[in-house]
Amino acid sequence: PAVSLLYPYGPHQHDHKTPKLDDGTSKEISLAVPFTFYGKKHQTLYVNNNGVISFGVRVKQYTPDPFPLADGRPFVAPYWADVDNVLGGEIFYRETTDPVLLARITKNINQYFPKIPFTAIWAFVATWDHVAYYGSTSNKGNTFQATLTTDTKTSFIILNYEAIQWTTGKASGGDAETGLGGTPAHAGFNSGDETNFYNIPGSQTEAIINITQTSNVNVPGRWVFQVDDFKVTGVPTEVPKVAGSNNCWL
């Protein structure tokens, strides 16, 4: 079997879980090591059920807005959409200094960014495991992960997409049976300064369901960015095609 893109997660990793609550969030999580995001050091964060890791503020909003946001919320959106973990799935998270995992992360970053000297000393791993969408009448689930890592100076975020089966909750105009249509999920980075942001190609179009096939590091389903001083690296110029369609989304 193919090796999973995802870093290890779940109860056997002593992960915490966010509450079983529609539009729920974790408590404010204090970090052992400050994490620099768009030039600002953050000592706490929230894991939000609706596919967002945020700094300084919870994000309960379920229909995504395109970046940049005008309200100063700094966050990364692995897959911002109307998750409902009451209907299915779990959202796991942990802070870690496990040497085996840090070695694996370091190897990955060194492979993708060979000109940047980097040795991970810390990571934060959040995983949405087979999560359902609001209003779902199906058993569709999305599995994706965001990993934050730093050497205290340089910070990276690794986004891993293992299975994406739906794009939209019912309250965002999605179909209850298919989880498609309406205002689809958004993936990207919002600095909070109303100017700096990055949208992963396909965001808020039906093409976002193919994010398991896209990448900026030549590993389908994985997107990696340096985020202390945000840099866009190796981004495909062509937005993914929708299955069964000859049209590219612009």
Neighbour tally for 23: CB within 10 Å: 17
Q: Which amino acid is at 85?
A: N
Mean pLDDT to the nearest integer, 7-16:
97
Chain center to CA of 161: 8
pLDDT tens, position by position, 49-74? 999 999 999 999 999 999 999 898 99
Mean pLDDT to the nearest integer, 146-154:
98
Quote the pLDDT of residue 246: 40
Q: How many helices (H) and strands (E) does the chain have?
A: 1, 12
Quote the pLDDT of residue 233: 81
Quote the pLDDT of residue 135: 98
Percent of the chain with pLDDT over 70: 92
Quote the pLDDT of residue 241: 62
Instruction: Please answer whether residues 167 and 185 qualify as being in contact, where contact means their C-beta atoms are separated by less than 8 angstroms.
Output: yes
Quote the pLDDT of residue 249: 35
